[in-house]
Structure formats: C-alpha cells, structure tokens
Amino acid sequence: MTLNGKTVLVTGGTGGIGKETARGLARLDARVVLVGRDPGRADAAAVELQRDTGNGNVDALTADLTRRRDLHRLADQVTARYGSLDVLINNVGVTRERRELTEDGIETAFAANVVAPYTLTHLLLPALKRVPAARVINITGGIPRGRINLDNLQGEKSYVGLSFYNQTKLALMAMSYTFAERLTGTGVTLNVAYPGHAYTAMNQGLTIHTYPTLARPVVPLLRLALPVLYGHRAVVKASRSSIYLASSPQAQGIHGTYLNSRSQPTAWPDAVRDQRNRDTIWALCEKLAG
Ligand SMILES: NC(=O)c1ccc[n+]([C@@H]2O[C@H](COP(=O)([O-])OP(=O)(O)OC[C@H]3O[C@@H](n4cnc5c(N)ncnc54)[C@H](OP(=O)(O)O)[C@@H]3O)[C@@H](O)[C@H]2O)c1
C-alpha cells in the first residue's frame, strides 16, 4: 500500500500520538504536513520523520489551534502551498486544570477539541473536494460515554478538567456525526477514531486538580504505573486507527463511522446520537467559528 502523491495534514503532528501517526503515513510515502505551535519543535519533528522514514516530503507548519486567526492562516497556507488535500487528521486534543478563555473568548479545551476541528474542516473543504475521495478523521478520547450537559458546554457552570475534557470529546463526536451527514455525497468522508491510552505529554502534564476529587487518592499510583503500562509502544499502537482510516483501501467507503482503537466500527454513544445535543453543538460551533 502506498500513499505516494497524496497529501496528509496531521494537527499535533509534532508530538505524542500525532507524531506516530505522521511517521506511519510518511512510511507509506505520503506528503505529510505536521502542525504544531512552536516552529523549532515543528521543524525538528519534520527533520526526524524525514530521516527515520527516508521520505523527504515531510513539512512543518505552525498554528495554535485554539486561535481563530491561526486556523484561518493555516488553511490559507495549506491551500496556497498544496492546492488540494487528501487527508485531514484533526488530532490535537487539550485538557486544562481550570477554565480559561482563548483570545476569542472560547473555553480553551472546547476551542481545541471541538471548534478547531469544525473550523479547520470547513476552511479546508475546497481543498479536500479537489481530490476524488478525501478523508477527514477526528480523534476522540477520554471515556466517550455518559451525558452531555448542554448548559455547561464551555464549563460555565462547573469545571473539573478531565470530566470536562470527556464532555468535549463527546461534543466533538456529536459535531462529527452531523458533519458526516452533511458531507454525504460530496466525495469527502468523515469518521471518528479512538486511539487508545498512551502516556504522552497530555497525560504527563495533568496536575492532581485536573482529576475528579474521588480519583485524586490514586493519582500517585497512576503516575508510577502509566509510564510503564502505556509507554512508547502504546503511543505507536494508538496511531493505528487513524493510520488505517487515512490509508487503507478498505477504509475508502467508510463514512460517518466511529472506530475503536482496534479500527473496528463501534456504536456511537447515546449522547452523540441525541438530535437535540447534535443540533445545539452544531449551532454553537457555527457561532464560535466566526
Ligand atoms: N494520550 C492518550 O492517552 C489519549 C487517549 C485517548 C485519546 N487521545 C487523543 O489523541 C489525540 C492526541 O493525544 P496525545 O496524547 O498525543 O496529545 P499530546 O501529547 O498533548 O499531543 C501533543 C501534540 O499536540 C500539539 N498541540 C497541543 N496543543 C496544541 C494547540 N493548541 N495548537 C496546535 N497544536 C497543539 C503539540 O504541538 P506543540 O507542543 O509542538 O505545539 C503536539 O504536536 C488527542 O486528541 C487526545 O485527546 C489521547
């Protein structure tokens, strides 16, 4: 299998699961565009992947995906530089200890995990539609179960970092479900992948206050166990579902589907299928994307 001649963009491709996803796709000979916030880190990651895979077509771009102006600049750069895009992997995910607003006045985790994939996919749709069968892959996470509190979509009422992160991932899935419905028949497919647990910068950076109160006593134990149980091999494993969706010929017809970490189609959570949840989240994304 080769992705020669195809252009793939991976947000958060400079570290963690995104970098392993980018590495896997570079091995398949795609032109890979990595996105991170820091130019030094992004260039270093591109050079590392070029060296490791022997693929010289790994480029780095910078954008902070929590900023509306960066999302627009990124989409303009991608469109100007590559013209068309075969695969967009909205991989960046953010957890915060406390509620913070972005410069656009959006709660930060909601901005990164829900509004950014919504906005970037919209802005890049013309480039995606220039190829016959473009693929968009949104990465979920946390424990994607339970309810979505429509009164607390941006943590206005209560905020416990990891619980809120979980809700943003359900909201991402609800937005993705609707987006997929709207893309049906356009030639662009959109799916959601669950990567599986991996001890990356995201988990390493979690403070004790990010955990729900009841879980806090076991956090010291988790900090000892997670690096052993979910080290580098887990990070590589966690890249598989998105690499499958991005590259496999069998994935060509998959659309509007939620895949688990073993790349198997899985039932969407009830909260995601709920029409009121989906309509409310879509309308909020429309408003916040500006
Ligand atoms: N790790 C897990 O156990 C796990 C489990 C389930 C799902 N997931 C999901 O999988 C995805 C990847 O997770 P991960 O653990 O690899 O995360 P991570 O380690 O935090 O990812 C780091 C990458 O994200 C980039 N990034 C972070 N914030 C950004 C921002 N505001 N704008 C642009 N880039 C940003 C970083 O770029 P720079 O630092 O270079 O700017 C780096 O490339 C996320 O969606 C996460 O929710 C993770």
What integer is the mean pLDDT of 73-85?
A: 98
Ligand 1 centroid to Cα of residue 200, in Å, is: 8
What is the SS3 assignment for the chain?
CCCCCCEEEEECCCCHHHHHHHHHHHHCCCEEEEEECCHHHHHHHHHHHHHHHCCCCEEEEECCCCCHHHHHHHHHHHHHHHCCCCEEEECCCCCCCCCCECCCCCEHHHHHHHHHHHHHHHHHHHHHCCCCCCEEEEECCCCCCCCCCHHHCCCCCCCCHHHHHHHHHHHHHHHHHHHHHHHCCCCCEEEEECCCCCCCHHHHCCCHHHCCHHHHHHHHHHHHHHHHHCCHHHHHHHCHHHHHHHHCHHHCCCCCCEECCCCCEECCCHHHHCHHHHHHHHHHHHHHHC
Q: Is residue 155 assigned to a domain?
A: yes
How does residue 101 score in pLDDT terms, banded at 50, 70 and 90?
A: very high
Q: Does some domain include residue 230? A: yes
Closest protein CA for atom 17 of ligand 1: 202
Judged against a pLDDT cut of 90, whether residue 144 lies above it is answered with no
What pTM, to 2 d.p., does this model score?
Answer: 0.98
CATH of the domain at 89: 3.40.50.720
Q: Which protein residues touch ligand 1 with a CB less than 6 Å away?
A: 12-18, 36-38, 41, 63-66, 91-94, 112, 139, 141, 195, 197-198, 200-203
Would you call 82 a catalytic residue per the annotation?
no
Q: Does the residue 1 lie in any domain? A: no
User: pLDDT digits over 14-34, tens only?
Assistant: 999 999 999 999 999 999 999
User: Does 2 fall in a domain?
Assistant: no
Q: Supply the range of the domain harboring residue 142.
A: 7-289
Please report the pLDDT score of residue 18 as a whole number.
Answer: 98
Q: Ligand 1, atom 6: nearest CA belongs to which residue?
A: 141
Structural domain total, the chain: 1
